[in-house]
Amino acid sequence: MPVTFRPARVDELQRVQELVVGSINDLTERRGFGAMASVRPPVFQLFSFNEDPGGFWTAEDAGEIVGSAFSWVCGDLWFLAELFIAPRLQGSGIGQELLRRTLRHADQAGARTRALITFTFNTVSQGLYVRHGMFPRLPVTMFSADRKTLPNVAPGPRVEFRRAQAAGPDLAALAAIDMSALGVSRERHHGFLLNDPAMTGFLLREGDDCIGYAYLASTGHVGPLAVTRRDAMGPAFAAALRIAAQGESNQVSAFLPGSCESALAVAAEHRMRITFPLVLASNHEFGDWRRYLPRNPGFM
């Protein structure tokens, strides 16, 4: 029986995450990084599905989910959050067909910018994206450190932070920062993060000026983080690490773009280690990646 392709159903999002985790771990183990992913509730996927189910597609073989694609749209940006195939069927054309279908999501939304973040060593998938006009643009590296090594992180000059609220003024400020740094407003995504009990959002201030925001997960992960100007990134990231150092997670981590030298310098100064490499691909350059740190490859 041939593989069939259809829109995904909300009741199978958890099963899809099991496929995603299995595919990621198969790839990272073969590349010597060991198993990196674990199955978690599909919280962001469910939020995105309820907002816009048009970006969700499933490949099925005899009742078994063997492939999945998930994309979201925000303003002019279409972002491919997930495209994974069961290891035994990789190279069979399923990825090509799923990508073709999910790209309709971009067309229907009129999104001119198309982007994704994938593992640098995922060369087969990168070839597929290149054939669809999304070229490797920027390395994005995950750094991590033992939280106990971070208490001496010095705050940036006059950088203060306060909890952000999922209400009008704070949401407007967060959206304005993203519009400045990325060219799109992610107000709905900020609403999602601020209502996630596992996340805490902060607005960063320098005197009377709001210079950016930072999120900290209960796992010790920093991001997303964005600033209003490039020279604020170093102090802002140092402040975020200082917040993380006060938490309870054993590890602290962050995804740092290769062009964001000020954040990379802070990471190096505090001996954060490279965990694994990724790459941002897109159909054209967009955003100022010296002013934005992604949350993860799916959320951006």
- Is 136 within a domain? no
| Number of domains making up the chain | 2
Residue 223: which of 193, 183, 187 has the closest Cα?
193
- Same domain, yes or no, for 13 and 76? yes
**What pLDDT score does 35 carry?**
77
Is it the case that residue 157 has pLDDT exceeding 80?
Answer: no
- Same domain, yes or no, for 89 and 183? no
Domain-terminating residue out of 111, 135, 161: 111
**What pLDDT score does 152 carry?**
64
**What pLDDT score does 92 carry?**
83
Tell me the per-residue pLDDT of 98-117, one tens digit each, with 9 for 90 and over: 999 999 999 999 999 999 99
- Same domain, yes or no, for 180 and 225? yes
- Is 166 within a domain? yes
- Same domain, yes or no, for 103 and 173? no
- Same domain, yes or no, for 169 and 87? no
Tell me the per-residue pLDDT of 257-271, one tens digit each, with 9 for 90 and over: 999 999 999 999 989
**What pLDDT score does 38 carry?**
87
- Is 195 within a domain? yes
Return the percentage of the chain with pLDDT > 70, whole number: 97
Domain that holds residue 271: 143-293
- Is 122 within a domain? no
In the structure, what pLDDT confidence band is assigned to residue 28 with cuts at 50, 70 and 90? confident
Whole-structure pTM value = 0.94
- Is 127 within a domain? no
